[in-house]
Structure 1
Amino acid sequence: MVDARPMPAPTMSSLKLDTSGAVFDKPLLYRSVVGGLQYATITRPDIVFTVNKVSQFSHTPLEQHWKVVKPDPVDRKSYTEYYVILGLNLFCWSSKKHVSVSRSSTEAEFRALADAMTNIMWLQKLLFEMYIPLDIAPTLFCDNQSTVLMSRNPIHHNRSKHFEIDLHFVQDRMVQLKARVVHIPSFD
């Protein structure tokens, strides 16, 4: 794995692996790496789907299965990944592949932001029904500066027409002071 290139997201949710093809010549290595990945899912819930998929082929892994374990990108579709933390606890998370290719990283980030915002709205409603008030608006952290700036800017640009609904949705929540979007460096 020394020459493996890390990928930001492991694989698509509609991944279909064949059971025919060249057999991987090191099945013990395959099982060892997949076993290690199973332990990693405890702290990395975004890889659970992929690890589950590749675990199904531990008995007789093929070359294509090993490429997925490394991983090997097949298309340019983005992933929507977000985590909702309530207090100090991870409340829920999501990691899914987009159905279509995003025209920009900002578009992909706005999709994730809108999905996270929807989930947070559901959580707020649930807490309200349980008579648990929230004193402050939720903060959404985003590592894409363009997304953060566009979420604050009410002026729309030609480049935002592909994700205009998500943009309006996020901006509407911010104008109502029901959420705020803050930049966080990717490293953090």
Structure 2
Amino acid sequence: MYAALGTRPDIAFAVNRLSQYQSNPSTTHLAAAHRVLRYLRGTSHLRLCLGHDDQYEDDLVSFTDADFAGDKDNSVSTSGWAYLLGRGAVSWSSRKQRSVAGDTFGAEYFAANEAVKQLKWLEIFAEQIEHPLNKPVSLHCDNKSAVDASRAPNVKHRTKHVRVHAHSVHESFVNGLVELVRIPGVDNPADVLTKPLPAEAHARHIATLGLVPYRLAKGEC
């Protein structure tokens, strides 16, 4: 749990899923936990690094995603979001949503709303350390309907909680805090926070999050 929260976003989804069975684990869950430990041992050369790629310079950027009805027991979706600074993750989350989403838009927009809530906290923190954010912060999402709704929430016929999320994100857009940007799903590193992925996609996304092979600095033993 400590690693998933502090230094290894690549295991956040697995730890989140396993944590749901702490009160009554089975041998299947134990085998899955052992697999996570073997993965950590096999990737012990990876470190979460900031500044290894200057593509985004010092701007805070974020990614959000949701796995629609991914839980086969109750059809609840999983939200995932990550904030990157200096091309490395500084904040991330993989969490089961509190209610069943009726469609992919509802699931994606719930995840976007959770990401915006974190951004509001990061904005306050940045002001306290006298390093204000460059706004609006780009929030990358692979759902076109969610991106469109952030600008003009035409959600009158949606359920109440979806309408609340839509207008909350839209308010942050109007205030200049955030701007949702659509990206292809294959290029969204938040995917690794919401579902198991093939090895190639997993490796590509965790590199985007800043998990790269550790290299000794000059003069370091």
Higher relative contact order at CA 8 Å, sep ≥6: structure 1 or structure 2?
Answer: 2
Is 1:13–1:96's contact at 8 Å kept on the other side of the alignment? no
Q: In the comparison of the two structures, how many residue pairs are matched?
A: 149
Is 2:83–2:91's contact at 8 Å kept on the other side of the alignment? yes
Q: Which residue of 2 aligns with 1:153?
A: 152
Structure 1 length-normalised TM: 0.66
Is 2:144–2:182's contact at 8 Å kept on the other side of the alignment? yes
Q: Which residue of 2 aligns with 1:14?
A: 20
SS of the residue 1:151 aligns to: helix
Counterpart of 2:125 in structure 1: which amino acid?
Answer: L
Q: Which residue of 1 aligns with 2:210?
A: none
Is 1:76–1:101's contact at 8 Å kept on the other side of the alignment? yes
Q: Which residue of 1 aligns with 2:195?
A: none
Q: Which residue of 1 aligns with 2:122?
A: 123
**For residues 12 and 113 of structure 1, do their structure 2 counterparts lie closer, same or farther at Cα, with a shift above 3 Å needed?**
farther
Identity of aligned residues (%): 28
Give the Cα separation in 2 of the matches to 1:31 and 1:13.
10
**Greater than 2 Å deviation, 4+ residue runs:** 9-20, 29-43, 71-75, 133-136, 154-157, 159-162
Mind listing any 5+ residue stretches in structure 2 that lack a counterpart? 1-12, 49-69, 188-221
Deviations 1:128-159 (A, max 9, x none): 11111223311101111111111122433313
Structure 2 length-normalised TM: 0.57
Give the Cα separation in 2 of the matches to 1:41 and 1:76.
32
Q: Which residue of 2 aligns with 1:36?
A: 38
**For residues 183 and 16 of structure 1, do their structure 2 counterparts lie closer, same or farther at Cα, with a shift above 3 Å needed?**
same
SS of the residue 2:185 aligns to: coil
State the superposition RMSD in angstroms. 3.2
Give the Cα separation in 2 of the matches to 1:120 and 1:40.
33
Matching of residue 175 in structure 1 with residue 174 in structure 2:
yes
Superposed counterparts of 1:16-95, under 5 Å: 16=22, 18=24, 33-39=35-41, 73-95=72-94
Is 1:141–1:183's contact at 8 Å kept on the other side of the alignment? yes
Give the Cα separation in 1 of the matches to 2:105 and 2:167.
14
Counterpart of 2:20 in structure 1: which amino acid?
Answer: S
How far apart are 1:88 and its partner, in Å? 1.8
Counterpart of 1:126 in structure 2: which amino acid?
Answer: F
SS of the residue 1:112 aligns to: helix
Give the structure with higher Rg (CA): 1
Q: Greater CA deviation, 9-18 or 93-102?
A: 9-18
SS of the residue 1:187 aligns to: helix
